[in-house]
């Protein structure tokens, strides 16, 4: 079923630092000396903040050799050498070690199905060892795809306690990424800090923006002609985290509030899965509360 | 150059009233009895407010006959009869009497060119007897298209006085529609009331929304992935009038604030010209601060 | 789960005839006299062929009364009266009698999931009493949604015989619509004729078009920047039937043939479900090998 | 008016060669040694053909120094050194030497206005020293923008001779790029060869494709729901050259052939100006009759 093959020799390096001459050469030279072959390199310079960003995907044949651990140590030492010299922040991801993703849901299934189907068809390079919910509703979906389903009922009183248990579960399962696939609970600031830049949320978006409840009804009352969705990393400031993906579709006066909800579902699932895919392909760098998405 | 032929016999009826049975039949029957042939009829019922809306485009052969004034009187009497019975608001527009449009501009030319080019190619069924500006900058464009150009410099002190002169000019020229094609002055509430549902404005739109100045810079700082535009009727509440058209396009981290402005221009001109076209084709009904766009 | 309520009093009338004055009035008047209330009426005149098309959605309170059969007979007699007078082709669909849909699949599941999920969430107003396949592959999906799954293995030799059995099954189940959700067998001309304008197919579309096998590889070789899909009614001329829906998305040189297939899947399922929805809402009229989609 | 500043120190290098390890490092190192600072680097490897492509935009401070000619010679020698070693094809473009563009038109003005307006607003980094036409029709537009207008009437008999004169003019004006902005003459194979990968053409595109005349009428007869446009480099095989940009928009049964033409104009001008902009920013590499557009 998998149409993306995992490649033992492949790795992706993400780098951020102050812009200065010679960065591209320094990284390329270091990887070349290491015996690695660059497959894809993209870079970005934010001229306003004078910051430099680079994503390098490469093959290091030694990673598939008999001493993988030694090869990883040597590779990391090489990168660390350049990084220390140029004061770089860096992450190194090995394709043979796919991210482990937990999906959080409540009662709505459209985003969950979309993620699980794309995972099964090989579009999302990750493991999905568990689904977390505050309701039993979607257990059947989890069963159908063979993913363990954990229910944590939440009340205002138990919320802090429950989150601690959830974090314990996520850590014991070595979860790298939490995807809030229409999980209708607000995560605490502590939770978001704990998994900084590792929780992706999706919410509807309108022009103009609507505060308060029943946003689709507000949008209908205002006669909007566009319905959108925004995927972002969750932060303490609710819905104000770094934006990863956005999209919108046209609606008309014929669309009832129910139609807007339906149209909104289509945008939401599309935007969420694109954001998750970009994260898993290690295309995203977060800085200054915004993102570079290579 | 004109690829839309004006048709002496053609008219468009726009109707709004409380929903009740028999409205479609009553109007269709009345027009049929009058000898008119319905070319296109669209209707909409807003079930939340129980309001009925209809747009009927028809040919009345008598309108091209020797007694046009008499035919118009008879037609209007017929419509008035049905309308009174069912407490309808109605407008009747004759294609042989195209709307007279004034374009307001400041220094930016992209929307102005777009409107004048579309007008010249026959896409906008109207006359454009004048352009108003608070600057001399775009006189050359007006000259190129042979449209009289009126400059009204505006200061905080003279604003009220200048608007009075502008209204006088617009009335003496029997202007039906004012298009604010990036006119960088806020029209007073009095002006908007005077031309209620007859002033179309365009402004940029972002998710999330940004208050204050330099919105494209704010959008850049926030790392938005979508840049949009909204065309609406101008009302006392700045940028809160009934929405006519909206659209948005994708942007990336590579787009500088200047790029966002450039991309924004493309959306603005596209959205504005669609809104103006819908108005001129008599496709828009305003109610409850929103629109039906047939 | 259903967010579309079936309404016993609601019906939709589709009409085609030669254009002439008074058609709208005649139909509206007849329905009004019958006691029906028009909820939505849309019409179209093709000026090239001088053909008139109308879709009228209405409530007839008597349909929910004690003598539903009698009410239906009276309604049909009323419509037939007008239709005979004006030589109209017409169809009358009752919302309380939802269409019965059979989905044909092979091994690919993206379109099947999309249809079944939209059906379950109430977006597709129909019954889905069966899925037909030439392979066992997708039985698990059918089971998950509780839909009977019928496998008819097909070879070149057995094809004609198998189609007869399929038609027998479809007729015994009173199937109104066949949706080919990536069914990788070409239906015979006889099958298409039997279910004329009742088989919807989806296929990929490219600019330029590519004949022969492996179209996504051909598209890659040609360096296309757009990948599309077309939903159409199946006819004897393969892939040449009346077009219902089309859409396309941008691709780049980075997209491998595999990526094109993946991106293509997204367009295919979106276009197919929109086409099926339009059919089920009785929005489509076929004429001269093309469609009006109200 | 210009919002893109020309930068004397800036240059863009485009490279194509057989893929092999160390290419990125070799180029980055060479530029670094030369004193250049890489601003943006993008690369692509076509794994099917094992070809490597890179675009590097960089600043070389010496280019703004007292000995610009010497700096250019040194830079080119540096690049040539790496290129010879790795058998690279390469192009080096200096931002201070903008491309010189000739626009070819016939009688239709929408693409011409779009290009000239974008040029004037600084979106297209080039000089436009001349417009060529086979008709007088658009001289007024050329005059309005202050661009010399050359008319070459063409008949079947004079075509070969006229093309020779056109080539002479283009060469005497040192033209780098010819943009066919709805020029309704087929350029000869000799002309296309002479300006290989330097003539950009725009044509409408449909799903399915339509051969023969009046394509918009054919599209209408076929009931298409999508109207597109393709920008490509002109080659001997008419409309079969490497695709640069494509886009499409939705249309409905309401759109008459005239409406399709109008909608088509909007797509054409948008696609053409994007393609020209990509070429001028030196983002395009042509290979195997397709393009990489960085």
For B54-107, what is the HEC assignment? EEEEEECHHHHCCCHHHHHHHHHHHHHHHHHHHCCEEEEEECCCCEEEEEEECC
Whole-number Å distance between alpha carbons of C186 and C104: 11
Identify the pLDDT of residue D5: 52
Contact D11, D38 (CB under 8 A): no
Cβ contact, residue pair A25, D28, below 8 Å:
yes
Identify the pLDDT of residue A4: 45
Give the residue with greater pLDDT, D237 vs B271: B271
Task: State pLDDT tens for residues B217-264.
Answer: 889 989 999 999 999 999 998 778 999 999 999 999 999 999 999 999
Burial class (CB in 10 A: 0-12, 13-18, 19+), D262: buried
Q: Which residues from chain D sit within 8 angstroms of residue B265, using beta carbons?
A: 121
Residues in chain C where the model's pLDDT stays below 70: 1-6, 207, 211
Q: What is the Cα gyration radius of chain B?
A: 21
pTM: 0.94
Q: Which residues from chain B sit within 8 angstroms of residue C40, using beta carbons?
A: 43-45
Encoding tokens for residue D39?
């601003």
Whole-number Å distance between alpha carbons of B132 and B138: 10
Burial class (CB in 10 A: 0-12, 13-18, 19+), A131: buried
Task: State pLDDT tens for residues B68-122.
Answer: 999 999 999 999 999 999 999 999 999 999 999 999 999 999 999 999 999 999 9
Long-range CB pairs of D151-158, under 8 A, 24+ apart, other chains included: D154/D185
- C191 Cα to chain A: minimum distance (Å): 32
Whole-number Å distance between alpha carbons of D101 and D200: 11
Strand segments (E) across chain A: 10-18, 37-46, 51-59, 89-94, 99-105, 126-133, 149-151, 177-180, 199-205, 226-233, 243-250, 284-287, 290-293
Least CB–CB distance from D253: residue in C44, C222, C225: C44
Secondary structure string (H, E, C) spanning B202-254: EEEECCCCCCCCCHHHHHHHHCCCEEEEEEEECCCCCCCCCEEEEEEEECCCC
Domain assignments of chain D as residue spans, ordered by start: 10-94, 100-293
Whole-number Å distance between alpha carbons of C166 and C153: 11
A3 pLDDT higher than 90: no
Contact D216, D225 (CB under 8 A): no
Whole-number Å distance between alpha carbons of D222 and C143: 40
Using a CB–CB cut-off of 8 Å, the residues of B that contact A are 44, 46-48, 205-209, 220-226, 228, 230, 242-248, 250, 252-254, 256, 288-293
Whole-number Å distance between alpha carbons of D141 and D145: 7
Give the best-scoring range by mean pLDDT among A31-45, C141-155, D5-19: C141-155
Backbone angles phi, psi at B103, to 5 degrees: -105, 130
Give the residue with greater pLDDT, B1 vs B58: B58
B51 pLDDT higher than 50: yes
Where in the sequence numbering do the catalytic residues of C fall? 239
* Dihedral angle sign, alpha carbons of residues C128, C133, C139, C141: negative
Cβ contact, residue pair B28, C31, below 8 Å:
no
Burial class (CB in 10 A: 0-12, 13-18, 19+), B115: buried
> What's the half-sphere exposure (Cβ side, CA atoms, 13 Å) at D294?
29
Q: Which residues from chain D sit within 8 angstroms of residue A42, using beta carbons?
A: 41-43
What does the DSSP 8-state code read for residue D63?
A: G
Whole-number Å distance between alpha carbons of A41 and D45: 10
- A114 Cα to chain C: minimum distance (Å): 9
Cβ contact, residue pair C40, B41, below 8 Å:
no
Look up the ipTM and state it: 0.91
Task: State pLDDT tens for residues D54-105.
Answer: 999 999 999 999 999 999 999 999 999 999 999 999 999 999 999 999 999 9
Helix (H, G, I), strand (E, B) or coil at A104: strand
Q: Beta strands C243-250 and C226-233: pairing type? A: antiparallel
Considering the candidates D40, D143, D193, D239, report the single residue annotated as catalytic.
D239
CA dihedral C160, C163, C165, C167 (to 10 degrees): -140
Helix (H, G, I), strand (E, B) or coil at A67: coil
Whole-number Å distance between alpha carbons of A98 and A101: 9
B207 pLDDT higher than 90: no
E strand or H helix that includes residue B133: strand B126-133
Encoding tokens for residue A153?
């009922």
Q: What is the Cα gyration radius of chain A?
A: 21
- The residue of B53, B209, B225 whose CB has the most chain A CBs within 10 angstroms, and thus the best one to mutate to test that interface, is B225
Encoding tokens for residue B59?
């040919």
Q: How confident is the model at residue D21 (pLDDT cuts 50, 70, 90)?
A: confident
Contact D229, D267 (CB under 8 A): yes
Q: What is the Cα gyration radius of chain D?
A: 21
Q: Which residues from chain B sit within 8 angstroms of residue C44, using beta carbons?
A: 40
Identify the pLDDT of residue B48: 85
For A129, A163, B8, D75, the CA distances from A184, given in Å and listed in that order, are: 21, 14, 59, 59
Identify the pLDDT of residue A240: 84
CATH 3.40.50.720 correct for D10-94: no
Identify the pLDDT of residue C238: 74
Strand partners, A15: A54, A90
For C115, C125, C132, C150, D200, the CA distances from C142, given in Å and listed in that order, are: 11, 18, 10, 10, 51
What does the DSSP 8-state code read for residue C147?
A: -
Whole-number Å distance between alpha carbons of C265 and C111: 8
Contact D257, C236 (CB under 8 A): no
Contact C209, D207 (CB under 8 A): yes
Centre a 10 Å sphere on the Cβ of residue B97 and count the other Cβ atoms it contains.
13
Identify the pLDDT of residue A1: 35
Contact D276, D117 (CB under 8 A): no
Task: Give every CB contact of residue C67 below 8 A, 6+ residues apart in sequence.
Answer: none
A213 pLDDT higher than 90: no
- Smallest CA-to-CA distance from A292 within A19, A85, A15 is with A15
Identify the pLDDT of residue C6: 60
Least CB–CB distance from C29: residue in B29, B37, B44: B29
- Smallest CA-to-CA distance from A108 within A65, A86, A82, A137 is with A137
Residue C287: closest C-alpha in chain D: D223
Q: Which residues from chain D sit within 8 angstroms of residue B39, using beta carbons?
A: none
Measured CA angle at D293 (ends D289, D294), to 5 deg: 145
For B84, C195, C230, the CA distances from C265, given in Å and listed in that order, are: 55, 26, 12
Q: How confident is the model at residue B6 (pLDDT cuts 50, 70, 90)?
A: low
- C113 Cα to chain A: minimum distance (Å): 9
In whole numbers, what is the pLDDT of chain A averaged over residues? 93
Centre a 10 Å sphere on the Cβ of residue A84 and count the other Cβ atoms it contains.
10
E strand or H helix that includes residue A47: none
Least CB–CB distance from C117: residue in A113, A258, A261: A113
CA dihedral B287, B292, C2, C6 (to 10 degrees): 90
Identify the pLDDT of residue A48: 85
Residues in chain C: 294
Measured CA angle at A96 (ends A92, A102), to 5 deg: 85
Helix (H, G, I), strand (E, B) or coil at C257: helix
- The residue of C210, C248, C267, C278 whose CB has the most chain D CBs within 10 angstroms, and thus the best one to mutate to test that interface, is C248
Mean pLDDT confidence for B190-214: 87
Whole-number Å distance between alpha carbons of B182 and B170: 18
Identify the pLDDT of residue D187: 93
Q: Is the peptide bond before A208 cis (omega within 30 degrees of 0)?
A: yes
Task: State pLDDT tens for residues D110-161.
Answer: 999 999 999 999 999 999 999 999 999 999 999 999 999 999 999 999 999 9
CATH 3.20.20.140 correct for B100-293: no
E strand or H helix that includes residue B155: none
């Amino acid at each position: 079923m998998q149409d993306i093959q995992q490649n033992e020799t492949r790795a992706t390096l993400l780098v951020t630092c102050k812009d200065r001459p010679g960065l591209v050469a320094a990284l390329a030279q270091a990887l070349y000396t290491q015996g690695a072959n660059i497959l894809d390199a993209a870079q970005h310079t934010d001229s306003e903040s004078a910051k430099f960003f680079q994503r390098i995907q490469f093959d290091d044949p030694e990673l598939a050799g008999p001493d993988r651990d030694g090869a990883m140590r040597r590779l990391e030492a090489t990168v660390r050498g350049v990084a220390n010299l140029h004061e770089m922040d860096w992450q190194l991801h090995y394709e043979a070690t796919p991210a482990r993703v937990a999906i959080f849901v409540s009662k709505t299934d459209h985003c969950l199905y979309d993620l699980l189907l794309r995972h099964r068809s090989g579009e999302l390079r990750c493991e999905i060892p568990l689904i977390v919910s505050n309701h039993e509703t979607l257990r059947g979906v989890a069963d159908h795809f063979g993913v363990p389903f954990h229910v944590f009922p939440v009340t205002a009183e138990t919320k802090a306690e429950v989150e601690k248990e959830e974090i314990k579960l996520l850590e014991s399962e070595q979860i790298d990424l939490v995807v809030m696939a229409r999980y209708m609970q607000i995560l605490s600031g502590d939770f978001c800090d704990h998994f900084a830049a590792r929780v992706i949320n999706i919410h509807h978006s309108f022009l103009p923006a609507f505060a308060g409840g029943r946003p689709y009804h507000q949008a209908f009352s205002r006669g909007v002609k566009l319905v959108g969705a925004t995927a972002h990393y969750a932060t303490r400031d609710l819905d104000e985290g770094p934006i990863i993906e956005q999209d919108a579709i046209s609606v008309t006066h014929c669309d009832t509030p129910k139609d807007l909800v339906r149209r909104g579902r289509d945008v939401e699932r599309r935007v969420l899965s694109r954001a998750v895919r970009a994260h898993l392909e290690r295309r995203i760098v977060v800085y200054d509360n915004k993102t570079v998405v290579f």
